[in-house]
Structures are given as C-alpha cells and as structure tokens.
Chain A
Amino acid sequence: DVKVTQSSRYLVKRTGEKVFLECVQDMDHENMFWYRQDPGLGLRLIYFSYDVKMKEKGDIPEGYSVSREKKERFSLILESASTNQTSMYLCASSLGLNHEAFFGQGTRLTVV
C-alpha cells in the first residue's frame, strides 16, 4: 500500500525557532511537494522537488527552505518560525503531474 509519512502529527514551537518537518515516501516517486492548508485558502504550494537535490519554489516560499538529499525524503525547514506560519502542513508525492498525488497525514504546527 502506498505510503507517505510525516514525522509529526502535532508540533508546538516558539517564535524564532528553527523547525524541521520531515516527509518520507515508499513509492519511489520522483516528485515531492510541500503544501500548507489554511481555512478559506485551500492548499498552497510552498516548494516542489522533481529529483534528488532539485527544488523549485511554489507560490509561497518566503520563510521556508527545503532539502532533498535522498529520493524518498523531503524536508521542509522554517528558518525562523513566526506566528503566521501556524498552519496544517501537507507533504505529497507523485509519479508525475498526470498521476495522482498521495498525501501524508499532515502536521499541525502551532507557533507561539
């Protein structure tokens, strides 16, 4: 069965902390994504990776960076967490853009 696993379901961090969100997929997919979901705004793309060590900015990359050192793992980094980064973060992977994306269970991040 297809699996995308995010390292934490819930996280509480302080303003200014560096935060790491980890995502692992077991489907050998080339493409991996980080989205955030906010009420009334749907899912917005933060970063996308189409290969190891390759990354592209999405619609809202400010305040975030990513790392993809291995094909199965895609990390999202909040360099200095701020309260406006309180959100649900969703990782996904896909074979390609004409194939469905599979999502992890999400990480609810609260920055206080």
Chain B
Amino acid sequence: DQQVKQNSPSLSVQEGRISILNCDYTNSMFDYFLWYKKYPAEGPTFLISISSIKDKNEDGRFTVFLNKSAKHLSLHIVPSQPGDSAVYFCAASGNTGNQFYFGTGTSLTVIP
C-alpha cells in the first residue's frame, strides 16, 4: 500500500511561471519529508527537506510547504527554468521503520 502518493504523473509549465508539485501521505508518524529531482539515467539528487515541526522551508527558487493536518506537502519552484525539467519524487520518513518511503514521481516539463 502506497504510503506516499503523487497523484499527478506529469506537469507542464511555461518558463518563468510557478511550478507546484503535490504530495500526500497517509502515515501520521512521518516526521521528515524530502524532495528529490531525477534526470533520466541518473540517480536522484536531493533538493530540499522539511521537518514536521515546521510548515515551510525555502532554498533559493525552491520552497516546500507542509500541511500536517491534511497530510499534504507541496514543492514550489519560482521561477521555473527549462533545466528544471525532470522527474520529482517526494519522500517521507519517521518512527515507522528503517526506510524512506517514496512517491511514484511527477514528471515536470518547463516549456521555453
């Protein structure tokens, strides 16, 4: 059973606009959340994380928002650039076992 879900397999955005990628989770014991970016034929690269004690974390063009009551997190990329075109995975961990749980990914295309 998928504990971390990314319900949008793909997203297209114009260059310069905001990209919003969404992620939902089911396990209330998760307390650490991460976003990864992956290009084809490469390993995922860590982007940004957030602890459950916060509701927002920013790093340059990337901001992650966490809504614990809704069990929802989102990644905002502003402004979007063509080089941001990749598959984005959200992940979660906590006192639930010894692993990171990953979503199925959202493929972002930024159109020049």
Contacts and interface: CB of A to CB of B under 8 A. Distances in A.
Given A42-B89, A43-B102, A98 B45 contact: no
Interface in A57-109: 58, 90, 92, 94, 97-98, 100-106, 108
Interface in A33-57: 33, 35, 40-45, 48, 50, 56
Contacts, number: 63
A33 B41 contact: no
Contacts of B43: 4, 6, 90, 92, 103-106
Given A43-B89, A106-B42, A58 B104 contact: no
A33 B99 contact: yes
A98 B32 contact: yes
The 10 closest A-B CB pairs, nearest first, are A103-B43, A42-B104, A43-B102, A97-B93, A100-B46, A98-B32, A42-B102, A106-B43, A103-B44, A45-B99
A98 B89 CA distance: 17
Interface in B36-90: 36, 41-46, 49, 51, 89
Contacts of B108: none
Specify the main secondary structure of chain A where it touches its partner: strand
Interface of A: 4, 6, 9, 31, 33, 35, 40-45, 48, 50, 56, 58, 90, 92, 94, 97-98, 100-106, 108
A99 to B, nearest CB: 8
Given A4-B43, A42-B89, A101-B100, 19 more contacts: A31-B98, A33-B100, A40-B9, A41-B104, A42-B102, A43-B91, A45-B99, A48-B99, A90-B43, A90-B44, A92-B43, A97-B32, A97-B100, A98-B51, A100-B49, A103-B36, A103-B43, A104-B43, A108-B41
